[in-house]
Amino acid sequence: MTTLHRISPSALHSFVQAIWLQAGSSAAEARLVADHLVAANLAGHDSHGVGMIPSYMASLTQGFLQLNQHVSIEKDVGAVITVNGHNGFGQVAAYEAMQHGIARAEKFGIAAVGLHHSHHIGRIGHWAEQCAAAGFVSFHFVNVMGDPMVAPFNGSDRRFGTNPFCAIFPRRAGKPLLLDFATSGIAFGKTRVAFNKGQPVAPGYLIDHQGQPTSDPGVMHQPPFGSLTAFGLHKGYALATLCEILGGALSGGRTTHDATLVTSHDAIFNCMTTVILNPDAFDAPGMQEEAESFLAWVKRSPQSGAAPIQVPGEWEEHNRQVREREGIPLDSNSWAQICAAALQAGMPEETLATWRALAQ
């Protein structure tokens, strides 16, 4: 039986920073990691929030994740740059890659950034929001290098990652429109959250090691391993394939195949190809009004049930408002694993005791 704690976002942010400072991160790195993980929880994506800390700590201990790395530009042709993340924190690599891309888009109106060899870059919407905050539209194709979890359409074992796709459109009249999802029916982290809570996942998202449908999230966490399935039948699988090639190959990174398979389940490496556009570069002075007219029109559709009609990104915005007010929900299993990771980082038990009190 698990208990659900509610933890203040700012206190959780301080704890996450303390863990990574203890592990050896610079203050700037610890802050970027905490910013990203807590923001994922605030957005409602607990699969990519502070619950990732034990996995990151295991990756560090096993020698995969490298602390205090910065991206280096490997090829620069002006509007297109390719950067190497040097196996460093994705929260730093993707942040720096987007900063470079935004500067190029400011100069050229359009820019593309290939990021390869980055440790897990987490919630992709965070990087799109960085572009939107600077006034830009962006598209992101991402692959998960060498760590297959998803079966191809008509296949029965894992061949590629949960390869997210993301796009954002900044609005003058409100929060950006944000499309941000895994091309698997559900993100792997959502199976971890369900597994930790001892709950099944909804039918249709998982197959077992024999390719048979199951709702047991355990098939993703203990042998014999099963697979996730792609969303939207052949369409999701096709998008996942393009994320693998555009994210993994075009960026200068690697795709998933027998020569790149990783043996550890704790190290997650992402590659991402991002296109950043200045909307003002188009001859579209009525663009914002057109967008708002469409969104208002869509929302006037009579509701089919109890749930309201939302536009992409609104779900995250609603979660932010609730969680800023009520705190971030964390189950006791995930909390215990995060505290264990703090000890693993070398945090003394007396110091940890004060942080443990957050979840009383």
Site string for ligand NAD, 34-63 (x = CB under 6 A): -----------x-xx---------------
Quote the least distance from Cβ 253 to ligand NAD, whole Å: 13
Residue with tokens 């909804």: 202
- With respect to ligand NAD, which residue has the nearer C-beta, 13 or 48? 48
Stretch that binds ligand NAD, among 114-122, 192-200, 217-225, 255-263 (CB under 6 A): 114-122
The yes or no reply on residue 316 touching ligand NAD (CB under 6 A) is yes
Binding residues for ligand NAD, how many (CB under 6 A)? 28
Position among 17, 162, 196, 229 found at the interface with ligand NAD (CB under 6 A) = 162
- Of residues 140 through 159, those in contact with ligand NAD by CB under 6 A are 142, 144
Looking only at residues 294 through 313 of this chain, which bind ligand NAD when binding is defined by CB under 6 A?
A: 310, 312-313
Sole binder of ligand NAD in the list 100, 123, 159, 323 (CB under 6 A):
123
- Minimum distance from CB of 107 to ligand NAD (Å)? 28
Query: Rounded CA gap, 292 and 151, in Å?
Result: 38
Strand duo 177-181 + 165-169: pairing:
antiparallel
Least Å from the CB of residue 56 to ligand NAD? 12
Binding-site ranges for ligand NAD (CB under 6 A): 45, 47-48, 120-125, 142, 144, 162, 164, 166, 178-182, 186-187, 190, 270, 310, 312-313, 315-316
